[in-house]
Amino acid sequence: MTDEFVSDNFAGDGIWSEESDWEGLDFDVEGDEESHVPAPTLAVVGRPNVGKSTLVNRIIGRREAVVQDVPGVTRDRVSYEGTWNGRRFMVQDTGGWEPDAKGLQQSVARQAEHAMQTADAILVVVDAVVGATATDEAVAKVLRRSKTPVLLVANKVDDERTEAEAAALWSLGLGEPYAVSAVHGRGTGDLLDQVLAVLPETPREGTRTGGPRRVALVGKPNVGKSSLLNKLAGDERSVVHNVAGTTVDPVDSVIELGGRPWRFVDTAGLRRKVSHASGAEFYASLRTKGAIEAAEVAILLIDASEPITEQDLRVLGMVADSGRALVIAFNKWDLVDEDRRLQLDREIDRDLVRVPWAQRVNISAQTGRAVQKLVPALDTALESWDKRIPTGRLNTWLKEVVAATPPPMRGGRLPRIMFATQAGTRPPTFVLFTTGFLEAGYRRFLERRLREEFNFDGSPVRISVRVREKRDRRKR
């Protein structure tokens, strides 16, 4: 059973009608964990400001890559998942490639070169209006030696007049230039058809897909999010001021921690209610929500020196509802005395009861105290978020738990759990097929025991129930 089948047919509470829905599935074999076929990678390269990120957004069908009419906005190698005509692949956005780059641009160039070395197909993007520049020719010279399939994209072809200018790009020696307008979508469907024609079904051996794990820094205004980002980065990536609300736009930074790159997004602090915000604050709240949705794990910063506020709990609820992994960082721990620690323990027991599974770390962004403990906490949370339990092992465990503690009776009948399956990951989602409704309290009991057995620290776990439809036997 694929994730898609389970998600489409059984995810969420509802009914199921026939044992034939699942009788062909082998739930008794230990280790029948589904194989997740890695997706091939399509790298998008070119000089700065030719519209690479706009094209990436067009290909994946959503606005995730940061776009701005200024050269050099994209600095890091970032991967997104895309599909076309039912085929799945990774799209890797890169910084502008300059052959004689220095300093920051040299680092950007290395990122782009790495993408070319590891990708399964390459789109080299050229501004058709400007025409081939010396940098484009240098890129083409490198790519002509590549064994990886290369497609030449003439971007910014918004009308028929520009198509003639695009034809001049044959001179680069990369074959036919595919005329597109990433902004308007013109020609992108034909381009993607060609991409599928050259892209292998699976990535070549030895390549790695994906990219830095995405972390959202969230919390109320002036809790220390930008200070923490700067401390982790070792430089001033974000503007810090003791006036609340300094950060408005999410700020992306790729930072190396624990020997691996992490993509941190510093978000604006959220007011008590979005309806109380106006203008820039309102849109900052929306962008913060979008940053949480685009992240894999969130670090919620709470000021440990002050009582937990309604604003803290609102942000917590936003993260919990998003289904993201979670680490709670109690900041300004250097200002916490013994009395405050005792009071904070009581507040945690009272106010954070919704997320007892969240990883907790006590830090000081100002002094750097214990910030190195964030990486192990993030690793644990993400490992739980990605975790998949083999169906055989899951049902063996469930049978033992239900035998020891049966569900409560409803209407004089004892509901039976026929079997369970993990419908998906990120977050781990489980579906129980039953003969009767399971009380919310019993579901919470199963979630607690599930966590104890399989260790889902740092990640939410979702359990839904499918109740067998009652059939009228007299009509047979």
Task: Reply yes or no on whether the pLDDT at 280 is more than 60.
Answer: no
Task: Reply yes or no on whether the pLDDT at 348 is more than 60.
Answer: yes
**Residue 131 DSSP label:** -
Indicate the CATH number of 3-34+388-475 among 3.40.1190.20, 3.30.300.20, 3.90.1170.40, 3.30.420.40: 3.30.300.20
Task: Reply yes or no on whether the pLDDT at 281 is more than 90.
Answer: no
Do 3-34+388-475 and 213-385 share a fold? no
DSSP symbols for 315-348:
HHHHHHHHT-EEEEEEE-GGG--HHHHHHHHHHH
Parse the chain into domains and list their residue ranges.
3-34+388-475, 41-198, 213-385
pLDDT tier at 275 (50, 70, 90 boundaries)? very low
Q: Is 3.40.50.300 the CATH number for 41-198?
A: yes
Q: Is 387 annotated as a binding residue?
A: no
Q: Which CATH class is domain 213-385?
A: alpha beta
Q: Is 140 annotated as a binding residue?
A: no
**Residue 124: how many CA atoms within 13 Å on its side-chain side?**
29
CA 373 to chain centre: 22
Q: Is 53 annotated as a binding residue?
A: yes
Q: Is 46 annotated as a binding residue?
A: yes
Q: Is 141 annotated as a binding residue?
A: no
Interior/surface letters 243-265, b for 16+ CB within 10 angstroms, e for the rest: eeebbbbbbbbbbebeeeebbbb
Give SS3 for 150. strand
pLDDT of residue 53: 82
Q: Is 232 annotated as a binding residue?
A: no
Q: Is 49 annotated as a binding residue?
A: yes
Q: Is 246 annotated as a binding residue?
A: no
Q: Is 273 annotated as a binding residue?
A: no
Q: Is the pTM of this model over 0.85?
A: no
Give SS3 for 475. helix
Q: Is 223 annotated as a binding residue?
A: yes
| 292 and 217 Cβ atoms separated by less than 8 Å | no
Q: Is 150 annotated as a binding residue?
A: no
Task: Reply yes or no on whether the pLDDT at 342 is more than 80.
Answer: yes
Q: Of 206-215, 294-303, 446-455, which range is least confident?
A: 206-215
Task: Reply yes or no on whether the pLDDT at 326 is more than 50.
Answer: yes
CB atoms within 10 A of CB 336: 18
DSSP symbols for 396-435:
HHHHHHHHHSPPPPBTTB---EEEEEEEETTTTEEEEEES
pLDDT of residue 98: 61
Q: Is 455 annotated as a binding residue?
A: no
Q: Is 48 annotated as a binding residue?
A: yes
| 263 and 237 Cβ atoms separated by less than 8 Å | no
Query: Could you give the percent of the chain with pLDDT greater than 90?
Result: 45
